[in-house]
Amino acid sequence: MKVLHRRSTKRVAAFTTALATAAFVVQLAAPAAFAAAPANVKSFFPVHGAAAADTQFANDDTGVTQMAVLSDLGDGVDSTAHLTAVSKAGATGPPVVTGATLVQWYWCTAGTVPPVCPNANLIGADTTATSALQTPGYTGGSIDDAWSIAWDIPASLDGLTKDIVVEGCNATPDATFSNCTHDSVPTLLDDSGTGNNPQTSSGEITSPANGSALSDSATLTLTASTSPELTAVGFGFDPNSGAGDDDNAYGSEDVDSFGGSTDSGVYNDLTPNTTTATAKTWSATVPGTDTPNNDEQALTLWSDNGDMNFTGTGGAAPGGVASFVCGAPCTSATVGGLAFDRHYEVLEPGVPGEALQARLKKSSDVTADATCLTGPSSIFAAAASTVNLTGCVFDAFGTAVGSEGVFWSLVNVPATGGGSFTGSPQLVTDTSGHATANVTSTAASGGSSTTITFCIDHDKNAVCDAGATKTATFTITWSAAAVTHARSISLRLKDALVARGRVTVTDGFAACADSVPVKVQRRVSGHWKTVKKTTTSAAGAYRAHLRNKHGRYRSLAPAVIKGTDTCSRAVSPTRRH
């Protein structure tokens, strides 16, 4: 269900609030658009449990990680809290699915949503969804659109619990938000610039980006940046299944229910990669054998004061979460824990850099679109002409694969006609993943067709690799070669007044003289004016009666097409009457 894969950029809410506020003011002045509301939208972080109660706990090793606390303490990337959401992608059907084109976030009094919750409480908006590319072998859950913003929490909200409301809208919201769908999460807020110390710890997943398509069979590297007081972090996957399904009514509150060398779902880093006075960076490696397979996933970054060593190597290590605002649930030595960031990812079949998809188009179409998706896969071409083709090789995720072996072949119907390769087709892709070939036909090939096959040949043994996506074809139907026939036309003026003449074809192609149009013209005020139209006989002769006026005359045989042949334009010498 997904189109193009692109990486999302975090937008600071101060900027997006201004844009969204302007859009809100415009929509109040306009009549209702009566647009359908999106099928669904869910807050992905912060996130609530199935009970939709106040600040919630995830089922990590001790079942106490807070999933609905936001802090904007500096994490080495920025000083903002990170909010993410997902919505069901739109589809033209069947069935038709209405998707969101805009997602807005609000902070609201408990139990209220826009428009009751005022526009002054708008946090910000994301106007561009991040849509994970669907690989050829993916058969998991329907891929959602991912959204995100960054929020500098106001000092006035420090230490308060407010509903974070996500509004997914189909176009700019109308006055009643009838074209929007919402989701609310009660969330505890901590502004790092005010209030008591210690400020609540913070962190951000720096890779992979929210809404990415990831390989489910290759090693993954997960990276993050956090505030400096943390001493360990955990990365955890949660699958799209059971009570934690991100498509259910309340989203998924899990952080660690899939994968890991002990199937705990946790990938810990007990030693930071870098340490400064203001931040620490972290990473974890997930082997291909442990990655979740062929499905949507939630990737959560968190830390706690309990045992961060769930994958079974080394001693138990507390994360050292600091927080005044959320108290014992975040700071207790035995039960405290806090989630910092959460991304929507899709784990899909395919290995980055491994050739999986072959495509074949005209070279001119590939020049215009290097993805090789634009342009026809069959054309008509004149006999005795040359067609330039470009084959393209990509991995499962749409990345071009260079230095890959490929193979070309062609079949003509009938076997005695059609085209042949001009020169030698390229058998190894260039750095753009492209290889070219030229196909030329003879003048006698009109009415025949040529089907060219382009395929991945990794072993370079002149045999196409197995797999439907690894082969592409292109068909050329050859038309009879176009020929232009030169003509001449004569004119005689007789009596009062008859114009006579003949159309003659230089090379004797009779069809260009048989029943072709002729215009007799008179010079008037410096221009040639048609005074009579007629048609030649089978032998090319014509005769036309004109009004008896003195002046200069000529005959014109306009260019005409006869089948695949062109009969050229012809003009007679000028005659005076």
Give the model's pLDDT for residue 265.
Answer: 60
Residues 326, 420, single domain; the answer is no
**Does residue 185 share a domain with residue 84?**
yes
Q: How far apart are CA 153 and CA 568, in angstroms?
A: 77
Report pLDDT for 142. Answer: 86
Give the pair of three-digit tokens for residue 471.
């082969």
Segments forming the whole domain that contains residue 32 = 13-348
Is position 4 within any domain? Answer: no
pTM reported for the whole predicted model = 0.72
**Residue 260 pLDDT greater than 90, yes or no:** no
Q: Does a structural domain hold residue 459?
A: yes
Question: What is the mean predicted confidence (pLDDT) over 192-215?
Answer: 93
Residue-wise pLDDT for 499-528, tens only, equals 999 999 988 888 999 999 999 999 999 999
* In-domain check, residue 3: no
Q: Give yes or no: residues 284 and 184 share one domain.
A: yes
Same domain, yes or no: 81 and 182: yes
Interior CA angle at 187 toward 184 and 192, to 5°? Answer: 140
Q: How far is 156 from 76, CA to CA, in rounded Å?
A: 24
Instruction: Find the CATH number of the domain harbouring 559.
Output: 2.60.40.10
Residue 162 lies in a domain: yes
When pLDDT is averaged across residues 460-486 and rounded to a whole number, the result is 91
Bridging pattern class, strands 449-456 and 471-479: antiparallel
Q: Where is the domain boundary, 459, 481, 503?
A: 481
Whole-number average pLDDT of the chain: 85
Among candidate residues 348, 371, 386, the one where a domain is terminated: 348
- Mean of pLDDT values over 264-280: 88
Looking at the structure, do residues 281 and 379 belong to the same domain, yes or no? no
What residues does 520 pair with on adjacent strands?
532, 555
Give mean pLDDT, residues 354-373: 95
pLDDT over 90 at 123, yes or no: yes
- Average pLDDT on 452-479 reads 96
Same domain, 367 and 401: yes
8 A C-beta contact, residue 83 and residue 204: no
105 within 8 A of 149, measured Cβ to Cβ:
yes
- % of the chain residues with pLDDT over 70: 84
Mapping DSSP to helix (H, G, I), strand (E, B) and coil, where does residue 534 land?
strand
**Does the pLDDT of residue 13 top 50, yes or no?**
no
Q: Find the length of the chain.
A: 577
Q: Does one domain contain both 166 and 270?
A: yes
Q: How confident is the model at residue 125 (pLDDT cuts 50, 70, 90)?
A: very high
- 152-156, 413-417, 433-437: range with lowest mean pLDDT: 413-417
